[in-house]
Structure 1
Amino acid sequence: MSAALDTRAAPQSPSGGTLELSGIHAGYGDFQALFGISLRVEPGEAVGVVGPNGAGKTTLLRVISGLIRPTAGTLRFGGQDLARTPPHQLPALGIAHVPENRRLFPHLTVEENLKVGAFSPAARAHFAERRDRVYDLFPKMKQRRHQLAGTMSGGEQQMCAIGRALMCAPRILLLDEPSAGLAPIVVKQVFDLVRRIREEGLTVLIVEQNVAQVLRVVDRAYVLETGRVAAEGRSSELAADPAIRRSYLGGH
């Protein structure tokens, strides 16, 4: 049984860590990828964002984590305006982003990658404690702690990337396509780990093409199509919706 995740370094606020997006427009130069996106994630929830390639899912997470600035709309976390917050300050607010394709430092060891995740002074002060909790959650990472991250399997790299994000004791974890490029048995392991993380009480927003898997681990989900919210609802409702089943679940 894993130890509870440490959230002491994450500052609290009157809004309790609610993520709120309203009317978000964003893109890359002259290309607009998001059109009026509105969504909400309450503390302790696991929420999915699903849809086909090119729907704007990754862009959405990049907007939340400050890598792309919205051109219109409001973006708040715990009542704080994220659009006006420098990206490097977001981990201190409790926002951690596990990007698509993991983005580990391949020539650093597992433990060195975890140290990168604990770069802030507040996180460094609790490094050993949080590292041990990550190893408790991901026992394979303890076994591989001196191994170069780039030499591990895709599934092990995904565990390391999630562990690195947990080192800053986030209040919300943003996961971008955690199953991408992994074998089916490893995909199941990754989603089992996501389930364990959210059972610890951590808020999770997960972007994923594997609709069937993600609907099993989230409370609610939003369906994105061409940069717009096409549907939203409880995961059980979306899984039973005939249109969703035809489009994403191979049903009739």
Structure 2
Amino acid sequence: MLELKNVSAGYGTFQALFDVSLEVRAGEAVAVIGPNGAGKTSLLRVISKVIDLNGGEIAMEGVSLNDVPAHKIIEMGIAHVPEHRRLFPRLTVEENLKMGGFIASARSHFDERLAYVYELFPRMKERRHQLAGTMSGGEQQMCAIGRGLMSGPKLLLLDEPSAGLAPVIVQQVFDLVRRIREEGYTVLIVEQNIQQVLKVVDRAYLLEVGQIKMSGSSRELLENDDVRRAYIGL
């Protein structure tokens, strides 16, 4: 579904990614793991065209995204749930969800998509008239994921969904990711909580200093001695 070949990108004169190649097949959940500053967030930003390519090729279902502007990416079936949620705090939960269904292809299915999100996240239905900024971190993450699902995406990009959350809420967030997987969505997730994320994905790539250092099944990476010592503390 998604394929990156030798992708390089950065910010001005700073290069964050160096010749990164990876793929996500339809129906898979794939993680990109690694330390802070490895380039994980930059990877998702270059896929959703928030930052520009310096080199390489990105394709979605065989169609090049290199020259597709950022505002058209969601129409290609890619929804990005950014780091730190990025909700509109002074809008209600339902108003935030509406923002996720703004594209023409989603508007005609708005009621259907909203009902689906409320079924997936019953707490969002309970909180639908509440200002998003007054909810807990875990509830805000539910709302952010729900907003991403409102467009009916083919591919959901999740950027550090557990960041800044209490341990008990982190477990809830990964349970949400597992439920989304069970619904049949294709997911690319970047995450520092390596032990947890490798329990809910099929495959993973290890990104260090902007380069892919290792890839394999989630089990292979969980059982890799170098990964366990460096990132899991075992």
Q: Deviations over 1:62-90 (max 9, x none)?
A: 00001011100000001111111111111
* Aligned: 1:234 with 2:204: no
Q: CA deviation at 1:93?
A: 1.2
Q: 2:60 aligns with which of 66, 74, 77?
A: 77
1:1-252 maps to which residues of 2 (within 5 A)?
18-251=1-234
How many aligned positions are there? 234
Q: CA deviation at 1:168?
A: 0.2
* CA-atom RMSD in angstroms: 0.5
Query: How far, CA to CA, are the matches of 1:157 and 1:77 in structure 2?
Result: 29
Percent identity of paired positions between Structure 1 and Structure 2: 65
Query: How far, CA to CA, are the matches of 1:120 and 1:29 in structure 2?
Result: 31
Letter in 2 for 1:197: I
In the superposition, the TM-score normalised over structure 1's length comes to: 0.92
Q: Deviations over 1:183-234 (max 9, x none)?
A: 1111111101101101111100000000001000000000000000011100
Letter in 2 for 1:196: R
Query: How far, CA to CA, are the matches of 2:152 and 2:64 in structure 1?
Result: 20
In the superposition, the TM-score normalised over structure 2's length comes to: 0.99
Q: 5+ residue gaps in structure 2?
A: none
Query: How far, CA to CA, are the matches of 1:155 and 1:182 in structure 2?
Result: 7
Letter in 1 for 2:60: F
Query: How far, CA to CA, are the matches of 1:78 and 1:198 in structure 2?
Result: 19
Q: CA deviation at 1:112?
A: 0.2
Letter in 2 for 1:123: A
